[in-house]
Structure 1
Amino acid sequence: MIYTSGSTGNPKGVMNEHGGVVNRLLWTQSEYRLTAEDSIVQKTSFSFDVSVWELLWSVTCGAKLVFAKPEGHKDALYLKELIEGHNITTIHFVPSMLGVFLGSMELGDCPSLQRVLCSGEALQMDHVNLFKEKFRNVRLDNLYGPTEAAIDVSSWEVPLEGDLSGVSIGKPVANTRLYVLDEDNGLVPLGVTGELCIGGIQVARGYLNREELTAERFIANPFAAGERIYKTGDLARWLPDGNIEYIGRKDNQVKIRGYRIELGEIENALSLVAGISQCCVLAKEDASGNKRLVGYVVSEEKLDKTYLQDQLKSSLPEYMVPMIWVELDQMPLTSNGKLDRKSLPEPESSDLSTKEYVAPRTEREEQLAAIWQNLLGIEKVGIHDNFFELGGHSLLVTRLVSIIRDELSIEIPITDIFKFNTVYELSSYLNYKIISFNDSIDEFSMNIEL
């Protein structure tokens, strides 16, 4: 059983049966044919469904299983060393982290690598193009599947030769059937968008103690008596070549950095915070195309972003806590009195930071501010602005460290960004690091004027 986020504010436990998991493992081995000469990296959290095949696939074929260190999946250089040090042949990436990893690679790196599997969010063309630049003769597969159907139900081997017109999620895996249905659960024609539904052995038993939701999402298969299908809520369409194209979510469930997030769960937690009378949470794209959570609130008192975030972190994982907040006098409504999400304003630069803007004063501060502006898609960054308030997260921290290494020729660990998270603090630390490599960070921290 694996828990996933729930739109009502209560996470739902998906009851996957052993038969579905075994089918997924047997299909995986028949597709990729690993041997005792292969090595797999286990780097996914045990609460995420990908970890199931990472942990068990090697058992079916005698391959070596190598465990990454905690939080190692966020460090591209560590993963490179792990792959090269253990002759890793097989690894999984969420596409957004694949992009970070590829940005730190050079052609010829990780020569043992034979196959890279992607899932968790939509694989983009820029990921594919960058992969083809950095690796030769390495297989790249795009997999798709919800937790409710034992991890993955379709796969697509990305063609590494020639130009692509788009990215597909491929065809069904063994003993699995995929349907694209209209609102009346009828089959839609080729090329027409509908809801992707899953049938076959991998369909889960349902949700633990959630009979109504189970009945709503796991329905009788209209095309096979005695079987069930799972309604994914994802929009898709069949392509002429027999593959499926993923379009997006049918509801307001979103994927951010590989995490499946129900915005309603965040709104439910936010509504319980004292002083919040109305709220809404949206996933907005920044100038770089990265999705960020934006919280809209009507508050009885002056908005305190830090307080809100601390309250949410007590009941939600950090990746579900918005860093961008917009305070409104009242929520916009439609003519029938419902919340008009489309009319909510775009966040302004002033909404991103709790600090008064102070311009860079030194060359180092100017360099870092420019890096932050490009990385975060923000026009103006002050020296006291907090990287994480501006929309920074763990994946962007990894990219920031790589950019500092490439552009400033300074090597720093990822943990330093969490300690020195303003331009002023980081600039002071980098200057200090150049002068002395031996003094401790803790001693330096005490001397910074905050």
Structure 2
Amino acid sequence: MTTPHQPSFTTQIVHADRLGGAEHGAIHKPIHTSVQYGYDKVEDLIAVFQGTAKGGFNYARQGTPTTAALESKITQMEQGLGTIVFSTGMAGICAIFMTLLKAGDHLVASQYVFGNTNSVFGTLANLGIEITTVDVTDAAQVAAAVRPNTRMVFVETIANPGTQIPDLAGIGALCRQHGLLYVVDNTVASPYIFRAGTVGAGLVVNSLTKSIGGHGDALGGAVTDTGLYDWSGYPNIFAAYCKGDSKGWGLQQLRKKGLRDMGGTLSSHAAHQLAVGAETLALRMERTSATALALARWLEQQPAVARVLYPMLESHPQHAQAKQHFRAGSWLLSFELRDADQCLTVCNRLQLPIKATGLADTRTLIIPVAHTIFWEAGPAVRATMGIADGMIRLSIGLEEADDLLADFAQALSGL
């Protein structure tokens, strides 16, 4: 008997809405704008409220048919148990921290995290949650930080902007050993380049604004449960949600406490845009990764450049990790100038890259890191994160590689 052919990543995504039962034979799931959803019998409405119904909607703050279709698509990408989408990636991250941790708990996190995530750590500390940040490229440092009250370990697959890569598998094994919830922010890599479930992550975060949406036209975030974590032993699950199969307890609490109570709801219009953008994820990641690697190799040869940070460069400190886990290097590329005072000059000389914050647009974006997105963190924190004053971050877009190389050549000439 022949084994049935399994459709590839992109084939599954582009046909997901149609095969999932979109109304009236639509190719894409329609945009559902209704806030309320009614039922013929009040018992059916009660079942939706109490979580005993399979599917169903009651109030759009907890989701719509359009956001549910996007959730299904992300779950398919991550090969997980289920997904909840949020208005932004930060809303998803805050939902995890604020609903699964309580005063007296301890969080071990990467010292190389997105600036806003680092800011949230300060808020958590004010609420009585202890945070220890460590160099997660070394799993031994994570192990040394674990305490009896540690509940969770949080890392980013590829750190922004320094591109540090954690010991993903080593930390996964450590979390399994101690029964810790392993949370991986997979925004930069995307589920096309890397699936965090392969290293034992229990929850996976994606800022849908970035790789998955990919066009810089809609904000969104997602939290996916891989099904690998045993929620029956997690001490912070509310009693009301400790019923039925324990595999669903984590997502149930996140949806009720993190989405419904905190209100970080993704609109149906944004969900539709993100779902359409997701269809070209693989194509965009392959193209931008190839261009980024070509530019990274060229920049390494330039006298004005002190260091280039890109995972697929042999010079990258975690290059072996990248080759082991990732199918490509992503669109994120950072480099440091030998003369930090020339940082702004180089940015202004460049004509194609747009001087703007944000990541994973179809157009290349450029920003001087220490002066902007990590200015608030201060020099001491920047030092621990490996952010030099002369660091420039690039988000590589869909331009032709030769055009970007020519632009950088003229911008660096004469320095």
Higher RCO (CA-CA < 8 Å; seq separation 6+): 2
Q: Which has the higher helix share?
A: 2
Same fold (TM over 0.5): no
TM-score relative to the length of structure 1: 0.33
Q: Which has the higher strand share?
A: 1
TM-score relative to the length of structure 2: 0.35
Question: Whose radius of gyration is greater, 1 or 2?
Answer: 1
